[in-house]
Amino acid sequence: MHRTTDSSENHTPTENRQRDELLVRNILDTAMDGIISMDSQHRVILFNPAAEAIFGFRAEQVLGRAIDVLIPSRFRLQHHNDVAKFGQGDIQQRRMGQQRTVMALHASGEEFPIESSISQTTVDGEKIYTVIVRDVTEAVRYRQQIEQQSQMLDQVSDAVIVVDLEGRITYWNQAATRQFGWTSAEALGQNANDLLNRGDQNLPAEMQCGGSQGGVWAGELQKTTRSGNRITVEHRRSALRDKDGNVIGCLWIDIDITKRKKWEQASRRSQRLESIGTLAGGIAHDLNNVLTPILMGARMLSSGRAPANPQGLLDTMTASAERGSNLVKQLLAFAGGIRGERSPVAMDVLLAETRLMLEHTLPMSIRFESRVIDGCPLVLGDETELSQVLVNLCINARDAMPDGGSITIEVTSIVLNGNASQLNPEAHPGPYVLLKVTDTGCGMTPDVIDRIFDPFYTTKEVGKGTGLGLATVQGIVKSHDGFISVYSEPGQGTSFSVYLPATQSTLLTPVVRIDHDDESGHGQTILLIDDEAHILQMTALALEHAGYQVITANDGFSGISLFKQFKPKIRAVLLDMMMPGLDGLQTLDQLRQIDTNVVVVACSGLRTSQREAEALERGANAFLPKPYSDDQLAHTLSLLLKTRDRPTLR
């Protein structure tokens, strides 16, 4: 048997005691926390170096004195009561952190916060209390700073959210509760994407913390509230980093711009109506010129005063009618009002169409010049809105040239490099289509230029403008991810440069193959439903001339009745969409209930993408916008009746 020999066996009891005392003294002297012992009379009997550093007293200054010297006077009575109560219990110790932070008194007279633990023991029948003290001034200051920052963040009107690297919410201010509906307690710990984006996995990769350059991303997003409503927010997120630069989370700031977006949309509509009013004056002049030869020719033909060979007269009347139809189409396209689906837009074609419309509006004293480079790339956008940009800029130029001048419109392509942000903070490198509108007008001063895009700001006289024209232009350009710049000098004219991101998409034109060899009706029966007597009469004549038999009805109710009566004979129905009583869509629904296979051609003088799509979705086989020619009508019916298995034609 081997026995481990304690080294103390080699020393005398006195030496062992001295050794133990030295060990305890070393522990007390090197402890990082203050250690203070007091007797049952609350007199200090131990005060280690860490306690000296914390309280600013030397040990000899406090040993033998009441511990009250370390306690602010207003807390001394409570301290004595707490120690007495602790001493009466069986609990031998109370750990640090289990009590609230208390205030201590420094030698300088300054109060400071501490955390402490207390234990008791009995020596020679007397209770000895030992307190371990930790100065938490910095921790309290940090905690107060965090609380102050949290209170400040709770005062802001924007939602402030912090998420960790796992996407869990770690901070949620009161504005986030007001904006999204969840309380802080409900949101903390939740996955932010699941909560606010309904788990959408198609978010851009650069939105991940640290995924974009500098760890910052900004843009507009659709988010969902607790009640299920979708709101539009201006979202900005930036990476949070530790002292070593490692990403530890992400800060989100969400500004609810739902009302602002609705206001912008309403403002655009209002401004579009103002622009339409301006255009209508010029177009009304041209429509009168269009109607004059038609009216004169028709009266000459009806009175027998037409020339022996009336073909020239008929050609003039046809050309005038087509010109009037094109004018109306241009006005309706511009007045579309509601943002449509984005599609590739050829800016040269848009410029040509818009210029025709503007030439009917602007005074003869203003000259037009336009230049378009060959092979100009396409823009992914809303043709109606882009047309409005061009019209608004030209009307603005017109107002700057009351005595006449010239407007030059240029369409070119440009590639912006890494210095794109020098042109505009929102610019990004890449290919752009540059639309430049330059006038020779009165120009603007720098202070006016600074405000021209502000809503309702105008330099025009009261009643001459709403101040929404250029604000609308900027809103449309921004919604197309583009930007606009302006250069002007007083008396030297103005130049607006609109930068629109180019797209690699190609412009697809649907081709409908129509067999022209045989378009005779072969005696097939067509039901024609229209509330306009003149259209009913002329269309019936055209169909009969094409070899069809025609049944006519002047409203939806009589049309349904005739369809039921002659259903076995009727091969197709030509149906007007806008009628009093039973309108076109309601009539279409009833026709489909009676016969799901009959060919229905929807017709309307007001063509919008929404109206056309609704008619086709409700069962129409084709949509024919008015005015249509007899050839168009014959082609459409012939194609549909020969290819009834094709569901729709546009």
Question: Residue 353's pLDDT is what?
Answer: 80
How do residues 55-73 score in pLDDT, each as one tens digit?
Answer: 999 999 999 999 999 999 8
Q: Are residues 222 and 333 in the same domain?
A: no
SS3 state of residue 522: coil
State both tokens at 423. 């042109």
Least trusted range by pLDDT, from 57-61, 170-174, 237-241, 260-264: 260-264
How do residues 573-595 score in pLDDT, each as one tens digit?
Answer: 999 988 888 989 999 999 999 99
Q: Are residues 495 and 374 in the same domain?
A: yes
Residue 543 counted as domain residue: yes
Q: Are residues 387 and 476 in the same domain?
A: yes
DSSP state string for 211-249:
TSGGGEEEEEEEEE-TTS-EEEEEEEEEEEE-TTS-EEE
Residue 400 counted as domain residue: yes
Domain boundary among 469, 503, 537: 503
Domain boundary among 207, 226, 256: 256
Give the domain CATH number at 107: 3.30.450.20
Higher pLDDT, 82 or 55: 55
DSSP state string for 62-107:
HTTSBGGGGS-HHHHHHHHHHHHHHHHSS--EE-TTSS--EEEE-T
Of residues 40, 220, 228, 234, the one with CA closest to residue 128: 40
Q: Are residues 173 and 113 in the same domain?
A: no
Q: Are residues 163 and 125 in the same domain?
A: no
Of residues 25, 51, 21, 57, the one with CA closest to residue 36: 51
DSSP state of 524: -
Residue 20 counted as domain residue: yes
Residue 647: pLDDT band (50, 70, 90) is: very low
Q: Are residues 339 and 252 in the same domain?
A: no
Residue 413 near residue 369, CB atoms below 8 Å: no
Residue 511: pLDDT band (50, 70, 90) is: very low
SS3 state of residue 566: coil
Q: Are residues 341 and 412 in the same domain?
A: yes
Residue 163 sits in which domain range? 156-256
Domain boundary among 75, 101, 136: 136
- The number of folded domains in the chain is 4
60 residue type, one letter: E
Mean pLDDT, to the nearest integer, of 259-278? Answer: 66
Question: Residue 563's pLDDT is what?
Answer: 94
Residue 581 counted as domain residue: yes
Residue 610: pLDDT band (50, 70, 90) is: low
Centroid of chain to Cα 397: 31
**Selection from 296-305, 407-416, 558-567 with the highest mean pLDDT:** 558-567
Q: Are residues 437 and 352 in the same domain?
A: yes
Q: Are residues 489 and 612 in the same domain?
A: no
37 residue type, one letter: S
Residue 647 counted as domain residue: no
- HSE-CB of 251 using CA atoms within 13 angstroms: 11
Residue 212 counted as domain residue: yes
How do residues 462-502 score in pLDDT, each as one tens digit?
Answer: 334 445 567 778 778 888 888 888 888 888 889 998 999 98
Give the domain CATH number at 592: 3.40.50.2300
Query: Alpha-carbon distance 377 to 45, whole Å?
Result: 89
Residue 506 has pLDDT above 50, yes or no: no
DSSP state string for 335-399:
TT-S----EEE-HHHHHHHHHHHHHTTS-TTEEEEEEE-TTPPEEEE-HHHHHHHHHHHHHHHHH
How confident is the prediction for the chain on average, in pLDDT?
78
Q: Are residues 239 and 332 in the same domain?
A: no
Torsion sign across C-alpha atoms 226, 230, 235, 238: positive
Give the domain CATH number at 408: 3.30.565.10
Q: Are residues 195 and 279 in the same domain?
A: no
Q: Are residues 458 and 370 in the same domain?
A: yes
Residue 648 counted as domain residue: no
Query: Alpha-carbon distance 411 to 498, whole Å?
Result: 10
Residue 639 near residue 514, CB atoms below 8 Å: yes
How do residues 215-230 score in pLDDT, each as one tens digit?
Answer: 677 777 888 888 888 8
Residue 519 counted as domain residue: no
